Structure 1
Amino acid sequence: MNTSDLLLKLFGWLSISLVAAYLIDNVMIVGFNFPGAFSIFKHFSLLGLFEFFVYILIASITYFIVRKSNLNFRSNSIILHKLNIYLIRSFFWIILITGFVDIAIAFMRVEKIFEFFLGKEISSNFSRPVFVGVYFHIPLIILGFIIAKFTKTIGFHWLSLLIVASELLIVITRFVFSYEQTFMGDLVRYWYAGLFLFASAYTLYEDGHVRVDIIYQGLKEKTKNLVNCFGSILLGWSTSIVIILLCFYGKQSIVNSPVANFEITQQGSVGMFIKYHMAVFLAIFGITMLIQFISYFFESIADYKNEKGKRIVETSSSH
């Protein structure tokens, strides 16, 4: 492997591995009150040193794996894309299962069904977001990752169908039975947010984003590959990194604060307890887009170098 190829591969893989280290560090800061990896530059502490060591360890492992690997750019691109597909599939199952379970809990909470069967003392737990989050949401998240391991479909078309069905059910219950609750609209917003934010990375892979093309189609193939390389980094990579940093920067950030407090909507117990999930959706969008942009970066280099296995993407003329 020549030096330029090694540096390009290291750039891509280190971007992802250091983001993983950043997420681990974030968990230690928010969940266990660690001082932060870079706090050692202000004042020394063993906990801060340990966090900093996590970055060094992950970066070192990444370097040695990439250094010893004989995989070409296209193979690296495929690996990243498969990883992204698994993550997206997992998140689809998570919001699907969580949506059904949480709306069932919300319905029984609002209609006092829990109180009828379990009594006031036990049923009051279902009005506490922490209880629902710990004993229902977290197990369902784990279950979603397990199911995704054994399924192949990404499921966006099914999610779209469920959103339409949910909207139809709201219309029927409201205008036919005069019944409407806050949690019904919450479910639609929850699935809508997941559909658009989770599907973005896969849409990028399929070249499905709508764009106004003035110059690109008239370029030579080699020039297109270079444009894709630089565009993936200058526009895609940079934007994704900024989103991720803003999502987790400090305990009061747009993701950390809602998750740490199991934040719910202002409607309280009459709605679904999934507002903090929707805060995480933005971080998931940034992470999956970063992985896909790095995969696209590797694929563009592979195309430029004429590596075997070039992918033919059928693009619509409407682009």
Structure 2
Amino acid sequence: MSIAATADSGAISDLPAAASGSMQPAMRILALSVSYLGFVYLANAYLVFWLDWPGVVALLGDAGLLGFAAPKEPLGGRVALAILQIAFYPVTVAAIVVYVLRTRARTLHMDAKRLSAIGAFVARAAFWTVLLVGLADAVVSFLRVEGLLPDVVGKGLAQDLGKSSFRAQVLHLPLMAAAIAISLFTRSVGFTWLALLVVVAELQIVILRFLYSYEQAFMADLVRFWYAALFLFASAYTLLHEGHVRVDVLYSGFGPRRRAWVNAVGAAILGAPVCWIVMTMGLANKFSVVSGPLLSFEVTQAGFGLYVKYMLAGYLLVFAVTMLLEFMASLLSNAGVLLEEADAPQSKGESDAHY
């Protein structure tokens, strides 16, 4: 037997049964904690930036811990809210530990499928959001630029729809809610349709520009709006099916077990930290690259363009969340291969039943 074959065959399964058995729940706790704590972090960011809760950083600064600057005003009675926000993290981990210990019969592959399903739901909701919001905002922008909006909705409402905050709350948010409802009843993500819509949106620009000499800012905005969504929302799907370009000279020659090692370590050491960096840096404060545009409902400088630039910043959160879930699903699936679980996937994309 060659050295490569020996290295490929000897792995976690060669450990004592007790050690191998303890790794399965440990891997589940790790992957589920890393995934669900991401949602806790996003929930805390919402509480801080939109509901004006003090937050973890303010509490640490108020107590003079870890070098954080003290808040401009003492927290006073709001300390309880900050403590509650901190408590969300250990409570979440504790709940995961209890869940794992009570469901020892669940395999790593089962949890991987669940994480992929959650990521697919997020991607579906995001897809329907950009579809509905893009079409609706394009119609409003067209009516505005042609001076027809007051005739359709009235002068007062037409003026209000020219304000980004009003349009976002009155038009975009209800459509987002509708998109979430639709995603509950659909079982696939329309990446193919979104790609087609990008082509159609670009084609109508070409036709109208060269045949009718007509072009408006919202038309190009719509192409960018949908193309950015296609690129970022489909990343997790591409990762699941190993569609990303691999720049390597070794991986293709590895056996199944060595590939599982590479994928598991890469997901845990390289993939998940990047997703957490995107979330933490994007929501570090009210002026960060994600929270700033979302809080101000930022729009482009073109007066009659789409009022959706703030949503492009939100795309980064969708990307980070879906990729984090898929990285942890990959970690669990490949750990299942190393532990030789009976239902471990044997080919790429086999674990997918939701995208």
Shorter-chain TM-score range: over 0.9
Q: Does 1:40 align with 2:75?
A: no
Aligned to 2:31: 12
Q: Does 1:24 align with 2:59?
A: no
Q: Does 1:115 align with 2:134?
A: no
Q: Work out the CA distance in 2 between the residues paired with 1:277 and 1:302.
A: 37
Q: Work out the CA distance in 2 between the residues paired with 1:199 and 1:172.
A: 28
Name the Cα RMSD after superposition: 1.6
TM-score between both structures, scaled by the size of structure 1: 0.94
Aligned to 1:301: 335
Aligned to 2:136: 101
User: Which consecutive residues of structure 2, in runs of 5 or more, have no partner in the other structure?
Assistant: 1-17, 64-78, 350-355
Which region of structure 1 is more displaced relative to structure 2, 31-40 or 75-84? Answer: 31-40
Q: Work out the CA distance in 2 between the residues paired with 1:119 and 1:139.
A: 20
Render the CA deviation track for 1:50-81: whole Å, top value 9, x for unaligned.
Answer: 21122233222222112212211111111111
- SS of the aligned residue for 1:127 comes to coil
Q: Do 2:122 and 2:318's aligned partners in 1 also have CA atoms closer than 8 Å?
A: no
Aligned to 2:292: 257
TM-score between both structures, scaled by the size of structure 2: 0.85
Query: Percent of counterpart pairs with the same letter?
Result: 31
- The Cα of 1:118 is off from its aligned counterpart by 4.1
- The Cα of 1:43 is off from its aligned counterpart by 2.3
Aligned to 1:62: 96
Aligned to 1:317: none
Q: Do 1:37 and 1:50's aligned partners in 2 also have CA atoms closer than 8 Å?
A: no
Amino acid at match of 2:311: H
Render the CA deviation track for 1:215-245: whole Å, top value 9, x for unaligned.
Answer: 1122232221111111111111111111111
Which region of structure 1 is more displaced relative to structure 2, 37-46 or 89-98? Answer: 37-46
- SS of the aligned residue for 2:212 comes to coil
Q: Work out the CA distance in 2 between the residues paired with 1:258 and 1:208.
A: 31
Amino acid at match of 2:61: K
- From 177, 185, 189, give the equivalent of 2:212: 177
CA radius of gyration, larger in = 2
Which region of structure 1 is more displaced relative to structure 2, 271-280 or 230-239? Answer: 230-239
Q: Does 1:90 align with 2:125?
A: yes
The number of equivalent residue pairs is 313
- From 201, 206, 211, give the equivalent of 1:166: 201
Q: Work out the CA distance in 1 between the residues paired with 2:153 and 2:225.
A: 28
Aligned to 2:229: 194
Q: Do 1:38 and 1:52's aligned partners in 2 also have CA atoms closer than 8 Å?
A: no
- The Cα of 1:5 is off from its aligned counterpart by 2.1
Aligned to 1:232: 267
Q: Does 1:272 align with 2:272?
A: no
Render the CA deviation track for 1:182-212: whole Å, top value 9, x for unaligned.
Answer: 0000000000000000000000001111122
- SS of the aligned residue for 1:32 comes to coil
- SS of the aligned residue for 2:281 comes to helix
